[in-house]
Structure 1
Amino acid sequence: MSNLQSLTMIRPNNLLALLLAAIICGCGYPLRAQQLGNAHYALTQNQQYTSATAFTPVMAQAQSGNSIELRVSGLSLVKADRYVAVFNLQQVAETASLVHSLMETRIAGLLHGLKDLAIEDEAVHIDLICLVPKYEFDVQQKVFSKSYNEVPVGFEMQQNLSIPFDNPAMLPQILALAAEQEIYDLVKVDYILDDPAKAKAELRKACIASWKEQEALHGEMGIRLDTLDRRFGDQFQVVVPQERYQTYTAYAQPNLAVANRKATVQRAEHSSTRFFHAISYKDYDVVLHPELTIPTVAITYNLVVRYQFPNPPAPIRHVEVQREFMLISPDGELSTLPLKP
């Protein structure tokens, strides 16, 4: 039996499987997976065209007028030198002394555990938020009415603990130690830069180098910008990771086979969470440290230099001067003397 005859006897489904296997295994090209992520996939389901199919290239435009502006935008991703985790503690008890004692016991237990992570007591800052009484309503029954009176039944104390640490990997350990003392409310995590001026200076230097390249490019085009009057302005902006977290709800597509039936469909609850959405590099001319994959402090810098061309000289107006001579006779008569060229 020939190879062609043997292929014609294979069922269509099996033939498709064999063809796919031949493409995957027989070709000499490596396989590459493309990662998109559910967050972007869910956002594009209701759009007629996704960002990939609706891509439009950016067209360059020449500047017009009597001035030229050169702009440079820079982005620097800076890893934090230190971190500070802020926890909130709440304690309720019948008396003020008891609520204070219970709070101190929980804090002392957490501080004892933090010593194993080389975090000393002096480094932890305790901030007292409030100590307020708690009230309930006492109902007094009268002959024709009832009265509700507020009576104190206990006290509530709130404190914030600021715990510094150097390595992001320490945060899960700190959370576990806090949970042992029934401390569950992690308010926020601050990212600290010891020398932000150094990071800004590095970014400014790189952007100025990019500006000089643009100025040299204009020189190659025959436009000498270094001979023109110039004005410049610049602006820094610091974006901390807390500002870049976005809400995300798990994406799931319903089963069409079940949806077509005449039955009540109970949809599963989709959990909502948050994810770190890093700043895109596409809008920046200079990007420093893009290899960092952890949440970082983003510093942006914008530089603009405006070159002013000199005003063109005013056109020369030629004015023709006409001369004539007048003669006054002794009798007082006025006459014009003819001029010979």
Structure 2
Amino acid sequence: MKHTGIDTNYKTTKMNTLKLIACLLIIANSSFGQVSGNINYQNQVRYSDNNINVSLSGNSDLIISVKGLANIKADSYVAIFTVTQVGETTTEVNELLNKRVNAVLSEISNKPDIETYVDMVSFVPVYEYEVEKKIFSSKTYNEIPVGFELKKNLHVKYKSPDFLNELISICTNSEIYDLVRVDYFSNNLEQTKSDLMKKAKTILSEKIANLQGILGTDLTTHEKQIADDYRIVYPVEMYKSYQAYSSSSLNLKKSANINQADKATTLYYQPIIDKEFDFVMNPAILEPVIQVMYEIKYRVYQEKEAKSDKEYILVTPNGDLKPINVNN
């Protein structure tokens, strides 16, 4: 048998170059240290994964990622207080609650940059049990209405964070103690997103140019894919809790009675830690802030090996020519 065909040489230089680039992209984790507090009394403290992570579909040979973080101080705040009032009649419960709320509104109405809003939460009857005594049978408990419960939320918008302490004192004078939450707002979110994008793209271009200079290859000739996204985290989402205490270890019998003291639970603000970001805007955090994360990922696909265009022909003993498909 004889084989005839045309031989074509295919270089795999670009494929090997991409593999080398992928090996060079090792990101070293920077060290992070802080003064230790009472939180270390709690074992195995774990921080939830609140970091941004943009996904790209499919497999790739090379992915270059740039992450940015911006800490934004709030421009305004909204504190929400819940007011609860119980009374025997609908008229009484309305008058009592409105008196308490109006006292707060009157005192803060002359403060600068203050806006208020009161919304209805619930208005329900309250029931108690009345005991019906019988001589020759057990007691019967009958549920009867005894009054009404009214709940409203008081929303107060302010600009200075120091005003919250004063607001709490004013509410306390009207027996309003339940501070539900404090929301943070900023007018600079869109501008911050734009600044993050510009900075990240500059760093991405520098990374690509640096790799091309080291390896002597043009990454722009390969098939590419780019994906990016933002994530915003507000302070209300970032409060954690722990209990700080030290207890003695005693070898006691299982039957021993142990009365344990109640341990106080502490809340603290834990922002996104900036150690995994390529750049941070306004890194120093003194108070709870709005945190905006941005990530851009640049993928370079591995060039697929071209199918061989060699043509192989089999010459049979009878002199017939039959083509052989070697690509399958």
TM-score, normalized by length of structure 2? 0.72
CA separation of 1:234 and 1:90: change in aligned 2, threshold 3 A: same
Counterpart-to-counterpart distance in 1, 2:88 and 2:311? 103
Counterpart check, 1:273 vs 2:272: no
Give the structure with the larger helix fraction: 1
Deviations 1:205-240 (A, max 9, x none): 111111111111111111311222211111211111
CA root-mean-square deviation: 3.1
Counterpart-to-counterpart distance in 2, 1:252 and 1:308? 55
Amino-acid identity (%):
30
Q: Within 5 A, what are the aligned runs for 1:131-146?
A: 131-145=123-137, 146=139
> Which has the bigger relative contact order, CA under 8 A and spacing at least 6?
2
Counterpart check, 1:129 vs 2:121: yes
Is there any run of 5+ residues in structure 2 with no aligned partner, and where?
Answer: 1-33, 46-58, 252-256, 320-328
CA separation of 1:323 and 1:151: change in aligned 2, threshold 3 A: closer
- Opposite residue 90 of structure 2, the aligned amino acid is A
Counterpart-to-counterpart distance in 2, 1:95 and 1:119? 37
Structure 1 window deviating more from structure 2 (95-104 vs 239-248): it is 239-248
Counterpart check, 1:98 vs 2:92: yes
Q: Which residue of 1 aligns with 2:28?
A: none
Deviations 1:67-112 (A, max 9, x none): 3211112211111111100000000111110110011110111011
Any idea what SS the aligned residue of 1:199 has?
helix
Q: Which residue of 1 aligns with 2:75?
A: 81
Q: Within 5 A, what are the aligned runs for 1:3-14?
A: none
- Greater CA radius of gyration, 1 or 2? 1
Q: Which residue of 2 aligns with 1:22?
A: none
Q: Which residue of 1 aligns with 2:208?
A: 215
Counterpart-to-counterpart distance in 1, 2:42 and 2:96? 48
Counterpart-to-counterpart distance in 2, 1:204 and 1:66? 23
Q: Which residue of 1 aligns with 2:36?
A: 36
CA separation of 1:147 and 1:216: change in aligned 2, threshold 3 A: same
Q: Within 5 A, what are the aligned runs for 1:216-295?
A: 216-221=209-214, 222-252=216-246, 270-295=263-288
Counterpart-to-counterpart distance in 1, 2:209 and 2:278? 16
Count of equivalent residues: 266
Q: Which residue of 1 aligns with 2:194?
A: 201
Is there any run of 5+ residues in structure 1 with no aligned partner, and where?
Answer: 1-33, 48-64, 327-341
Any idea what SS the aligned residue of 2:191 has?
helix
Deviations 1:26-54 (A, max 9, x none): xxxxxxxx832221x3246x89xxxxxxx
